Structure 1
Amino acid sequence: MFNSCIKKKLDRGETVFGSFFKFNSPNLVELFGFAGFDFLIIDCEHSTFGHADVETMIRACERAGMSSIIRTQDASEANILHALDSGASGVQVPSLRHPDQVREVVHKSKYHPIGGRGWAPGCRAAGYAFFNVDEYVERANRETVVSVHVENKEMVDEIEALCEIDHLDVLFIGTGDLSQSLGHPGKAGHPDVQAAVDKVIEAGVRHGKHLGAVVGNPDQLKSYVERGVKYIAWQSDLTMYKNALKAAAANFSPYRQKED
């Protein structure tokens, strides 16, 4: 059965801390858990994971006491179903532009009576049909995390409608794509982008929705948490490895022989 620790923590009003995960290594997944992270967002949108790879990393998250959120490639039923049937704690769906698409994501992620998720109790999430089916369905509907990216002008414009969608847990603010959508690619600090972020946070807090964001430094973390963002993705594994390797290389770079 999937690890639902972050859903429980969020619903208690706690802040949870994760990271985007892009490298195909269950060993590195375990390191994140042992270091104290609450969850990983296993990134199927911008990485090359297959379904078997994802299931292996879900197992590693469980081994290390973390929830596993799958950022799907898209909102297709197959990708959402594969992620959840493999035992993921939830899905995080990118590239949506309208509340109706978000309602469809909820429908694909939840069983009857909430939605119409594909019925296969022989899947890993249900213990390969060893679990009590009624208990599994009730828990899956109650504890599966549904997160969607708010990463374009259309989604920001529809934020009030998004906040009214039942069983949508997390509105994840994607400032990178949002900056491009607003005509300022790569400039997350531009006033137009920050105004859109402010609009999403204000609406989310007012409606009692969980808000998420990727965070790159302590000042940004402090600002987001103080404003009510409780689903925090601290950088990514790639960024952290890159920074650690650059810092390590800086120790020996003065001893390199200079070429003539």
Structure 2
Amino acid sequence: MSNNQNFKQQLASKELVIGTFQKTPSAMVSEVLGLTDLGVVCLDAEHSPFDRLTIDQCIFALRAADKPSLVRVPSAQPEHLLNALDCGATGVVVPHVTSAEMAREVVAASHFGAGGRGYAGSTRAAGYTTKAMPHHKRDSAAQTVVFAQIEDIEAVDEIDAIAAVEGIDCLFIGRIDLTVAYGAASPKDDVVIDAVERICAAGAKYGRPVGMFVGDLSEIPRWRECGASVFLLSSDHNFMLGGAAALQEKVEAG
């Protein structure tokens, strides 16, 4: 079984998954990240200038490396979900999911069925017509993952209802957005930490994996204890900046 096929099972079993965000809309960057041991790469089409063609090209490069790929879509609009999944992404990260109703709509738009994702057999995900419809529908149901990004006060208030929605494969915590939403000075302020703990508790209660970004890697053991199992950390931009700084420091140190 390929890594792409196995990713949904990894999530469900709450195995530790370490991935990163790709901010640069470049298939070459995806190809390089595909050579790493990271468990998943998330294309950040919400905050970086990925268009439909670059999403397609980057997913192609990641699939060639058998690297699971997520697309953090610009919004929950069905066309964004459809495009990412038709291009062959393993799943989608949907920002600003604030209610159970919205979570159900996102799940429906990410899967085939009445009122759900539009079907086409000519896509990469369908093997460019080489996959029969029953096989494509079966594989999509078995492999497609949906991350609901929890980053609003309303979402925290409704977190039990959101976590109870079948088809949500991960509650992904947008801690920086929560910091802004609560008017906190730091993502380590008590009000933010309390919100993160509430989300983790809801994940545990309803059996939903929990994911997050953390800037301080020393926090990971704490959040692992709270049940978080998916960590999308750093980014290709940070890798370049960190590598350049390390090179400069090493050379200057002689």
Does the CA-based 8 Å contact 1:75-1:93 persist in structure 2?
yes
Shift of 1:216: 2.9
Indicate yes or no: 2:73 matched with 1:90.
no
* Greater mean alpha carbon deviation, residues 97-106 or residues 22-31: 22-31
Q: Structure 2: how far apart are the matches of 1:163 and 1:94?
A: 15
Q: Is residue 2:66 matched to residue 1:72?
A: no
Looking at structure 1, the residues matched to 77 and 190 of structure 2 have their Cα atoms a distance apart, in angstroms, of: 34
* 1:198 matches 2:197: yes
Q: For 2:218 and 2:29, how far apart are their aligned partners in 1?
A: 27
SS in 1 for 2:116: coil
Question: What displacement does 1:14 show?
Answer: 1.2
Q: State the distance in 1 between where 2:3 and 2:55 align.
A: 13
Alpha carbons 1:148, 1:171 under 8 Å: kept: yes
Measured after TM superposition, the shift of residue 25 of structure 1 is: 2.5
In the alignment, what sits opposite 2:19? 18
Across the aligned residues of Structure 1 and Structure 2, the Cα RMSD in angstroms comes to 1.9
Aligned sequence identity (%): 31
Residue-by-residue CA offset, 1:180-214 (whole Å, 9 max, x unaligned): 111115x1000000000011101111211010001
The answer to whether the 8 Å contact 2:7/2:143 transfers is: no
Q: Which residue of 2 aligns with 1:216?
A: 215
Q: Does structure 1 retain, via aligned residues, the 8 Å contact 2:3–2:67?
A: no
Contact 1:2 1:88 in 2 (8 A): no
Matching residue of 2:239: 240
Normalised by the length of structure 2, the TM-score is 0.93
Which residue number in structure 1 is paired with residue 227 of structure 2?
228
Higher-Rg structure is 1
* Counterpart check, 1:150 vs 2:134: no
SS of 2:92's equivalent in the other structure is strand
Q: Are 2:64 and 1:59 equivalent residues in the alignment?
A: no
* Corresponding residue pairs, total: 253
CA-to-aligned-CA distance 1:137-192 (integer Å, 9 cap, x gap): 0121222000011001100000110111011111000110001111115x100000
After TM superposition, the structure 1 = structure 2 runs for residues 13-52 of structure 1, keeping only pairs within 5 Å, are 13-52=14-53
- Give distance in 1, aligned partners of 2:189 and 2:217: 20
Matched AA of 1:36: D
Alpha-carbon shift at residue 252 of structure 1 (Å): 4.3
Distance (Å, rounded) in 2 between the aligned partners of 1:145 and 1:63: 19
Aligned to 2:135: 135
- For the residue of structure 1 that corresponds to 2:125, the secondary structure is helix
Q: Is the 8 A contact 1:2 1:125 kept in 2?
A: no
Cα deviation per residue 1:23-79 (whole Å; 9 max; x = unaligned)? 123232233232201111100001011111111111111122210100000011111
Q: Which amino acid aligns with 2:124?
A: R
| Separation (CA, whole Å) in 1 of partners of 2:236 and 2:44 | 11
Give the Cα separation in 2 of the matches to 1:217 and 1:195.
17
- Helix, strand or coil for the counterpart of 2:166? coil
User: In structure 1, what is the equivalent of residue 124 of structure 2?
Assistant: 124
SS class of match (1:230): strand
Is the contact made by 1:2 and 1:89 (CA closer than 8 Å) also made in structure 2?
Answer: no
* Alpha-carbon distance between aligned partners in 2 of 1:88 and 1:68, rounded to the nearest angstrom: 5
Deviation of the 1:227 alpha carbon: 2.0
**Structure 2 gap ranges (5+):** none
1:80–1:108 Cα contact (<8 Å) kept: yes
Measure, in 1, the Cα distance between the counterparts of 2:248 and 2:139.
Answer: 48
Structure 1 Cα separation of the partners of residues 73 and 229 of structure 2 = 21
Code of the residue aligned with 2:245 in structure 1: it is K
